[in-house]
Structure 1
Amino acid sequence: MIQKRSFITGLCLVAMLLYRGVAIGQITVIDSSYKLPDHPRLLISAAKEKQIIAGVNADTGLRQIHQAILSGAGKMLNQPVLERVMIGKRLLDVSREALKRIYYLAYAYRITHDKKYIRRAEQEMLAVSAFKDWNPNHFLDVGEMTLGLAIGYDWLYHDLAVETRNTVSLAILEKGIMPSMDRRYNNWLNITNNWNQVCNTGITYGAIATFESHPALSATLVNRAIKSVVLPMKQYAPDGAYPEGYAYWEYGTSFNVMLISALESVFKQDFELSTQPGFLKTAGYMVNMTGPSGKPFNYSDSRAVAEFNPALFWFASKLKDPSLLWVSKKQVNEAKLLNNRLLPSAMLWANGISFSKANAPKAAFWIGNGTTPVVLMRSSWTDPLVTFVGFKGGSPATSHAHMDIGSFVMEAQGVRWAMDLGMQEYESLESKGIDLWNSRQDAQRWKIFRYNNLAHNTLSIDSAFQLVGGKGNFQSSSDKSNFMNAVVDMTTLYAGKLKKSHRGVALINKKTVLIRDEVETGDQGVTLRWSMVTPAVAKVLNAHTIELNSEGKKCYLFIETDGKIEVKQWPAAPVTSYDAPNPGTTIIGFTTQLKANSRKNISVFLTPEKPLLKRPATADLAAWPKN
């Protein structure tokens, strides 16, 4: 063992020398002389344990979360230990399960002191430490595995056998830290998406947990993370909208908060990370992204299912704003949602905030500019039957984006009438040879049915795809209660087809949703297609009206425009062998022919009330209320 340790120590020194040549603008906020607190040092302490117990005793919602963790830990006691089983190119499912098991078991042991939990955690830690590697070719797998091992090592340190501590510490070094310093695997240091947040967090936890074994190396890694993670954090500016959407907010932001929380717990500061523009505003984005039905606005690579977000507890505590837990307050009653692998973090971050104080947010309108602009409007926070609409801009070139610029979702009467099909599982495409991660204009990605504009609630011109190099930005918006609205300029998405494409979405009188398009053609005529994906049964009532039926309720789509239109329904069935099925859905809308050098204004109303046969002319977008 001593000989092996000497080899590893030498390897660390060589790696440090090599790393100095590839560091990304090295900064020093701590050095090897820094005196870290004793174990456990990451997130938890004796005082925090007492605070958790007090919260469990005082608050029903926190008690439900606590019981969910203990129940989950109990189910883990007799499960077989994890094995190194790859799915395609990923070990990620195993890494995530390892993180969940170790975190839940470590939490259960620290709060109950029942040794059955530490015995089981130790078995799991030794099992994954024995893996030949943690799959550095897909470094998310390493990041999550390192995080899990680091929490277990740190939280259980004084009660683990010395041999177990040595084995786990060595695994963190060899299979987590060292690959993170290899140019073949660490391109995530310089990118702006969730990979940066997740990988930096996992490696930083490993560095801090094992700081005594290699203080100079650990200090280097902490400094590196603080410098690197600013890159994705800049993407929250200016208002907190997360570029990659709902599902990746849960991923990237949760790990980002785990990183900040670790720095706060160990170094008593976060080195100004939380002050990055837009970051503290992003909790508002996530809360507003959830519709009255509990379903999210699932644009980009997101599923149309709710996520329980422990990170919201950190934001609620940091901002002293319990309303940020309004959605979480309802979710704790849905046991299936209390399955998040970071669930113990909610207990750590609650900091005395009670669910009983989590009143509804005050604002019914939220807008975020930035990489992927989005606006979210609703007529009420407390009535589950209200009207809700989400509307987005952005670019297909953004990480995990679809060709969905100008797309929207709409709910009324508890039904999502206008929906997003969401992501297709990656492995189902990668296993069939699809180049999913190339986003060039001619890439295979855009031939996937769910990913292009023909399967989204937006415009298509001559059945062509939106342009990857284009972007939709908000031109104006208003939170006026009887005419909430936002207007997006989508012209660059249709360059070469249209000279102008502006779309406005409004929530009128807290009930009706209006989608207005104003377009201008160039030197050639085009065919414009307006489409909307719906789970409802559609019935064409006349040349301008479609009746939607779902769950015994009705919604009406009324089209107001000059000239001839052709109302249509398109199937949402797979068009290739690799496309996923979309049962129970259809695409409704219409087509219209536009002459060269012409203008066209189209207003589409969605309302749970049957529309009048004749409506007054709708105001131009330029005349819409503005803040």
Structure 2
Amino acid sequence: MSGRSAPPSETDPREVQGKSPRHTSPWIKFGVPVAVLIIVGAVLGGVLGTQLNKSSKNNNSSHPQSSTSLSPQQSSSYAVSLSSAREKLGRFATGTDTYGLPEYPSTTDPGLFGTPTFVPPQSSPPAAWPTDSFKPSNPQPTVVRSGRPRLIAPSYKWNALPSLISLDPYLRGWNDTIFGNATAVLNVPPKAFFLDGSSGALDTAREIKVRVKNLAYAYRMSNDSKYAERLWEELLNASGNGTTSFGTAGDNWNSNHFLDVAEFTAAFALAYDWVYDYWSQPRRTALMWSIISLGINKGVAAYNGASYGWWRTVNGNWNCVSNSGMIIGSLAILNDDPTGAATQMLNLALPNARSNCDLGVSNDGTWVETANYWYFGNTGHAEMASSLLTATGSDYQLLKSNPNFYLTGLYHIYVTGMTSLFNYGDHGPNKFSTTANCMMFYGTQYNQPFYTLFQRDRIDASEPTGLFWYDPSVSGGWWDNLPLDHYFSNNTDQWASMRTSWTDNDGLYVAMKAGTNSGHQNHNDLDSGDFVLDAMGQRFAGELGSADYNAPGYFDGGNASSPRWLYYRKRTEGQNTLVVNRQNQVLSAFPPTNFDSSNTTQGSSTVLSIPQDSTAFFTADLTNTYGGTSIHRGIRLLNGRRQVLLQDDISNAANAIQWRMHTNATVKFSTTSTTNDTATLELAGKTLVAQLLNVKNGLQFSTAAPVRYDSDPPLPAGGTDPENLGVTVLVVNIPAGSNSVQVVFNPQWVGFNSFISPKSVPVSQWSLRSHD
């Protein structure tokens, strides 16, 4: 594609460092986003292999690494066998599990997947997109290519797609899914307008955007007018010209919640552009005026001081999505617009997006809001940049103005656990049209093929824009040579994740965060020291996510006494961390952190033998987080990554402290112990044993309900907390004074019982070898 950007540096972000049947966990219902992806994906069977080989010191297998050490006859035989195996494999993932994550075949053959790369175009498969002939020497945002479509998928891509679909199993599968989704809409009524409090009509806008993409795609690929006519019915209704009312006349797209305007505008723009040749002139005119009057004119007003234009100065999803809708809408009707609004909008939105949307990514790649809001912001950014590239021939520095934006894909990979995201903070409204397919766009633009390879096996990949962002010349296993651990050191974020494998979802995943408790656009929690833990295909320590977005004062978190911090899921007691004297953490705190890793990487095979000395740890000095109470918290992997140690060193605390962990597991205590120093957590047939070590001062486990303390200040008038059904809080009550609270988590791995009792080492003295 034209406009491909080189990465901002020569550093591969992957080098940056500082199965049994699975069941649906209750975290799916209560702990992860209630964010329905309107994507129909085939769920196939697949068994993953797990190897935690205690004696192994490397990742090599007995299979040949290359043909260089073989005789010519052996080399030829191996090459033929490998080619046959790859052809038979088709898609790398054999299916998806109950969490929607890909399952990979168990193989120790490093040649089957190989190093991530873009294979140069050849006369035989793998095929690639043809070269775009539209290459203006002096691109201008108001000078667009001739002909339609011009947004994301110009005609040369549509023309090449049938041939590519016949050659590529991923494109073929996505095409079938999109047609299935489009066909499913044919016999349902147009989406009705629905206003959901502080979330506006966003669900309505995004679901209509999904329908637009699928129906427009199906029409262009089949030339069957039934898809275009059903699309027109949807557009007629959403413009306020149908048989039922749709919002407020003249402001049908709800400008007071500008995300709604942006998403409706983008949907209408894609419908206008992708189906341009089918629409009659009166229909084109009607669509254009809807885009102008209900969309772009509202955007111009936002830039000219309207109260709903506050998003112009924020770095995050609001800026990305809002500017994206305005830019896509303007590009769609440019040269047709008799008012000049489209040109005016482009001149306003483009520099603003560079200055604000692009800063939604921190300098380590972390999204400034939360792991779930990454989807919203990056989808908007990618659709905006892609449309500019295809329509005008340049992204106008949207991909380069933040030199570290290219690391955002790395963040998404490491924040994805064995069951779900490290889903701290708010998760946002339903995703609908928002997917992670920006990974495929960024994979090409930043020359990071492992981004593309990572996303193409995900359940949300079957979506039209992602299909056009996918480069079918990509090859290899995205996990090849990828470190298992990563530390994100940006001052605002500061977090780390550690795991046992990239391809075995039944392994171990631990993530912990610190960073600042403010500066996340009121989507954060008071949660320094918060962690999640996945093992054996279950999330044993999980997040509660968003509370009620419509609750009074929910998005008012500007100071310590703001109402946001009264709601349980936002308070410190609603997190997997410590609570001092039943009080929230300090809002303005910034805890220093430390991280180290043995830098274990996975090879190209899907089975990883972990060296016994492989480890990683993350620590945080939470003293200023708790107003001067000296607390050092650390989490580390032990015993070849089979066990997890969580330790809190507390010095001279003036008040009682409570250790808290939220779980969907059934918690049981040993009937033979009077001190409850061991808790057995059972979840979906899997067992995790938590043990208190070096018990002093009468420390023991107990349980509590996931509700506010009875001593908490009252909720705002009319405010309520959502129920946390199926959740138990595992608790350790710690008296005032000095204590070292050491909890070791022992997943009950099949065929393994060689658990160790780690040394007692102060968190401040942890090192890679401190617990050998």
TM-score (norm 1): 0.86
1:197-231 Cα distance to aligned partner (Å, 9 max, x none)? 00000000111111111585433322332322232
Following TM superposition, by how much is the alpha carbon of 1:586 offset from its aligned partner in structure 2, in angstroms? 0.4
Which residue number in structure 1 is paired with residue 498 of structure 2? 377
Distance in 2 between residues matched to 1:527 and 1:326, nearest whole Å: 49
1:171-220 Cα distance to aligned partner (Å, 9 max, x none)? 11111111112222211111112100000000001111111115854333
Q: Residues 441 and 452 of structure 2 are in contact (CA less than 8 Å); yes or no, is this contact kept in structure 1?
A: no
Following TM superposition, by how much is the alpha carbon of 1:463 offset from its aligned partner in structure 2, in angstroms? 0.8
Q: Residues 406 and 472 of structure 1 are in contact (CA less than 8 Å); yes or no, is this contact kept in structure 2?
A: no
Higher relative contact order (CA 8 A, sep 6+): 2
Establish whether residue 112 from structure 1 lines up as the match of residue 222 from structure 2.
yes
Which residue number in structure 1 is paired with residue 147 of structure 2? 38
Q: Residues 528 and 577 of structure 2 are in contact (CA less than 8 Å); yes or no, is this contact kept in structure 1?
A: yes
1:81 match: secondary structure: coil
Q: Residues 42 and 154 of structure 1 are in contact (CA less than 8 Å); yes or no, is this contact kept in structure 2?
A: yes
Which residue number in structure 2 is paired with residue 517 of structure 1? 648
Establish whether residue 281 from structure 1 lines up as the match of residue 407 from structure 2.
yes
Establish whether residue 504 from structure 1 lines up as the match of residue 634 from structure 2.
yes
Q: Residues 455 and 587 of structure 1 are in contact (CA less than 8 Å); yes or no, is this contact kept in structure 2?
A: no
2:648 match: secondary structure: strand
Following TM superposition, by how much is the alpha carbon of 1:361 offset from its aligned partner in structure 2, in angstroms? 6.2
Distance 1:473 1:61, change over 3 A: farther
Aligned residues: 579
Distance 1:538 1:32, change over 3 A: closer
1:584 match: secondary structure: coil
Q: Residues 476 and 486 of structure 1 are in contact (CA less than 8 Å); yes or no, is this contact kept in structure 2?
A: yes
Residue 498 of structure 2 aligns with an amino acid whose one-letter code is: M
Q: Residues 364 and 488 of structure 2 are in contact (CA less than 8 Å); yes or no, is this contact kept in structure 1?
A: yes
Which residue number in structure 2 is paired with residue 251 of structure 1? 376
Following TM superposition, by how much is the alpha carbon of 1:424 offset from its aligned partner in structure 2, in angstroms? 2.6
1:137 match: secondary structure: coil
Q: What does 1:298-317 correspond to in 2, within 5 Å?
A: 298-302=423-427, 308-317=435-444
Which residue number in structure 2 is paired with residue 4 of structure 1? none
Following TM superposition, by how much is the alpha carbon of 1:350 offset from its aligned partner in structure 2, in angstroms? 0.3
Following TM superposition, by how much is the alpha carbon of 1:469 offset from its aligned partner in structure 2, in angstroms? 1.5
Which residue number in structure 2 is paired with residue 166 of structure 1? 285
Q: What does 1:83-232 correspond to in 2, within 5 Å?
A: 83-89=192-198, 90-130=200-240, 131=246, 132=249, 133=251, 134-182=253-301, 183=305, 184-212=307-335, 213=337, 217-229=341-353, 230-232=355-357
Following TM superposition, by how much is the alpha carbon of 1:434 offset from its aligned partner in structure 2, in angstroms? 4.9
1:99-140 Cα distance to aligned partner (Å, 9 max, x none)? 111111111112222111111212222222235221000001
Distance in 1 between residues matched to 2:592 and 2:290, nearest whole Å: 47
Which residue number in structure 1 is paired with residue 18 of structure 2? none
Q: Residues 144 and 392 of structure 2 are in contact (CA less than 8 Å); yes or no, is this contact kept in structure 1?
A: no
Distance in 1 between residues matched to 2:285 and 2:363, nearest whole Å: 45
Distance in 2 between residues matched to 1:492 and 1:574, nearest whole Å: 23
Distance 1:573 1:378, change over 3 A: same
Following TM superposition, by how much is the alpha carbon of 1:248 offset from its aligned partner in structure 2, in angstroms? 0.7
Residue 308 of structure 2 aligns with an amino acid whose one-letter code is: Y
Distance in 2 between residues matched to 1:58 and 1:503, nearest whole Å: 52
Q: Residues 498 and 510 of structure 2 are in contact (CA less than 8 Å); yes or no, is this contact kept in structure 1?
A: yes
Which residue number in structure 2 is paired with residue 462 of structure 1? 581
Percent of counterpart pairs with the same letter?
25
Which residue number in structure 1 is paired with residue 458 of structure 2? 331
Distance in 2 between residues matched to 1:57 and 1:244, nearest whole Å: 40
Establish whether residue 572 from structure 1 lines up as the match of residue 706 from structure 2.
yes
Query: 1:545 is matched with which residue: 663, 670, 678?
Result: 678
1:503 match: secondary structure: strand
1:288-312 Cα distance to aligned partner (Å, 9 max, x none)? 222223x211111128999852112
2:515 match: secondary structure: coil
Unaligned 5+ runs, structure 1: 1-28
Distance 1:375 1:447, change over 3 A: same
Residue 592 of structure 1 aligns with an amino acid whose one-letter code is: I
Q: Residues 30 and 223 of structure 1 are in contact (CA less than 8 Å); yes or no, is this contact kept in structure 2?
A: no
Distance 1:201 1:172, change over 3 A: same
Query: 2:747 is matched with which residue: 583, 605, 608?
Result: 608
Establish whether residue 618 from structure 1 lines up as the match of residue 761 from structure 2.
yes
Which residue number in structure 2 is paired with residue 559 of structure 1? 692
Distance 1:537 1:305, change over 3 A: farther
Q: Residues 391 and 408 of structure 1 are in contact (CA less than 8 Å); yes or no, is this contact kept in structure 2?
A: yes
Residue 572 of structure 1 aligns with an amino acid whose one-letter code is: P
Which residue number in structure 1 is paired with residue 43 of structure 2? none
Following TM superposition, by how much is the alpha carbon of 1:391 offset from its aligned partner in structure 2, in angstroms? 1.0
1:449 match: secondary structure: coil
Distance 1:169 1:125, change over 3 A: same
1:505-526 Cα distance to aligned partner (Å, 9 max, x none)? 212221211222233347xx11
1:307-356 Cα distance to aligned partner (Å, 9 max, x none)? 85211211223344443355545434xxxx567xxx21110100224587
Residue 545 of structure 1 aligns with an amino acid whose one-letter code is: T
Distance in 2 between residues matched to 1:81 and 1:518, nearest whole Å: 58
Distance 1:262 1:463, change over 3 A: same
Distance in 2 between residues matched to 1:74 and 1:88, nearest whole Å: 32
RMSD of aligned alpha carbons: 2.8
Q: Residues 558 and 611 of structure 1 are in contact (CA less than 8 Å); yes or no, is this contact kept in structure 2?
A: no
Distance in 2 between residues matched to 1:538 and 1:220, nearest whole Å: 61
* Higher fraction of helix: 1
TM-score (norm 2): 0.70
Which residue number in structure 1 is paired with residue 74 of structure 2? none
Query: 1:447 is matched with which residue: 558, 566, 569?
Result: 566
Distance 1:260 1:69, change over 3 A: same
Distance in 1 between residues matched to 2:757 and 2:152, nearest whole Å: 62
Query: 1:585 is matched with which residue: 727, 731, 736?
Result: 727
Unaligned 5+ runs, structure 2: 1-137, 241-245, 601-613, 710-714
